[in-house]
């Protein structure tokens, strides 16, 4: 269907990439509009739906029945996705299913779940038959704000997070906020870290809006203000991707808080922190580094800390594994010539990168985050 004939009331943005352009749709209780969106971006009616087991059976069957009712043929694989099994074994398991189902290059894979689901399923789609079309239907706030947009797909190794992967863009990102109502509260809260991050690094007005808005509960997700915040966050990510698809420039700013965050996830074997929680602490450390080298003042650090606490995100560590954290950061995708490119703040809404930050500064800022 031609773009001008589409209903654009829920359109957050159109991502423009070398692999093709795709729409980001954001709204509440909008699942009925999915078939029309699919018809506009894929040519085949065969859908292979790979879903997080947490969504089975209710949400998975709701989605499958909607697609079947609109002329699509669906096959379903349910997987217990988590950071601990975001690895080659899970990929092999999905490959075996795709082989058994005789999936062809013209067929479409749909990812239905959180960030881990999207990363793994997207990686599978990028490598099965050298690439088949795939759709992102994220069901967590973290995935909506960040992971589902931009085509970064991949898996973990024992030595680090997301070390195997590719840039492979979806044909559509479809975000129905109604799925957030069934998340555990901790998972819902965790997702705000990525939204706050977008305000901190690129959009001071979004940050101000988050500062001034009242307490956000899951029951409020149908509120127009909340939908618009998620839309704005998605648009920020989209604009960065459209300008820097392969992370050769400003896209690296999206990694604010992630160097320490990924290290925390790894050293705790992905069992202590949700991704957003680890990123929240990582952003605190990054802000402290920014202050230490004279980029920002104490007031800016406190504003960041206050907004993270407002959204029930952690801002301190209750253990000292500083040496392990430092060691883990040395295997980082953002490293150049052995030096980590740290994403730091130079103001609310403005970020920059620095290399050759003295390790003693990093250690000091990590330890400054530890509470007895």
Distance CA 134, CA 45 (A): 13
Structural tokens at position 50: 């790979």
- 83: Cα within 13 Å, side-chain hemisphere: 19
* β-sheet bridge partners, residue 173: 24, 136
Q: Give the DSSP per-residue string, 144-171.
A: IIIITSS-EEEEEETTEEEEEEEE---S
The alpha carbon dihedral of 321, 322, 325, 326 has a sign of: negative
Distance CA 234, CA 231 (A): 5
Q: Which residues are catalytic?
A: 130, 152, 194, 237, 247, 251, 255, 258, 262, 275
Cis peptide before 295 (omega within 30 of 0): no
* Extended beta strands in the chain, E state: 11-15, 22-27, 46-52, 73-79, 108-113, 134-138, 152-157, 160-167, 172-176, 335-336, 339-340, 342-347, 350-354
Secondary structure (3-state) at 70: coil
Distance CA 342, CA 258 (A): 9
Kind of pairing between the strands at 46-52 and 73-79? parallel
Distance CA 269, CA 242 (A): 34
Q: How far is CA 136 from CA 4, 118, 326, in A?
A: 22, 7, 34
Structural tokens at position 76: 């379903």
Q: Which residue has the tokens 């990028």?
A: 126
| Residue 108: DSSP 8-state | E
Nearest alpha carbon to residue 370 among 254, 264, 296? 264
């Amino acid at each position: 269907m031609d773009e001008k004939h589409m209903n654009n009331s829920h359109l957050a943005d159109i991502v423009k990439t070398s692999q093709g352009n795709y729409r980001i749709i954001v709204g509440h209780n909008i699942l009925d509009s999915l078939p029309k969106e699919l018809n506009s971006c894929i040519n085949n009616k065969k859908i292979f739906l790979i879903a997080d087991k947490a969504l089975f059976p209710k949400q998975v069957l709701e989605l499958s029945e909607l697609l079947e009712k609109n002329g699509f043929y669906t096959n379903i694989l349910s997987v217990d996705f988590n950071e601990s099994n975001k690895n080659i074994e899970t990929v092999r398991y999905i490959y075996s299913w795709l082989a058994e189902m005789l999936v062809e290059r013209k067929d479409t894979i749909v990812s239905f779940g959180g960030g881990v689901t999207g990363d793994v399923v997207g990686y599978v789609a990028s490598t099965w038959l050298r690439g088949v079309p795939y759709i992102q239907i994220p069901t967590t706030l973290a995935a909506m704000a960040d992971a589902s947009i931009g085509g970064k797909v991949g898996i973990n190794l024992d030595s680090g997070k997301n070390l195997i992967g590719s840039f492979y863009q979806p044909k559509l990102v479809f975000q129905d906020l109604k799925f957030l109502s069934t998340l555990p509260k901790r998972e819902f809260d965790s997702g705000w870290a990525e939204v706050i991050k977008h305000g901190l690094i690129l959009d001071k007005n979004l940050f101000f809006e988050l500062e001034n808005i009242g307490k956000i509960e899951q029951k409020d997700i149908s509120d127009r203000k909340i939908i618009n915040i998620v839309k704005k966050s998605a648009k920020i990510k989209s604009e960065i991707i459209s300008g820097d698809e392969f992370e050769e420039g400003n896209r690296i700013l999206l990694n604010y808080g992630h160097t320490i965050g990924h290290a925390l996830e790894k050293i705790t074997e992905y069992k202590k922190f949700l991704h957003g929680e680890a990123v929240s602490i990582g952003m605190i450390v990054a802000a402290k580094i920014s202050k230490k080298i004279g980029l920002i003042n104490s007031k800016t650090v406190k504003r960041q800390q206050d907004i993270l606490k407002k959204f029930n995100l952690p801002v301190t560590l209750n253990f000292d594994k500083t040496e392990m954290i430092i060691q883990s950061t040395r295997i980082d995708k953002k490293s150049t010539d052995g030096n980590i490119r740290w994403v730091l703040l130079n103001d609310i809404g403005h970020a920059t990168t620095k290399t050759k930050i003295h390790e003693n500064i990093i250690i000091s800022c990590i330890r400054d985050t530890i509470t007895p």
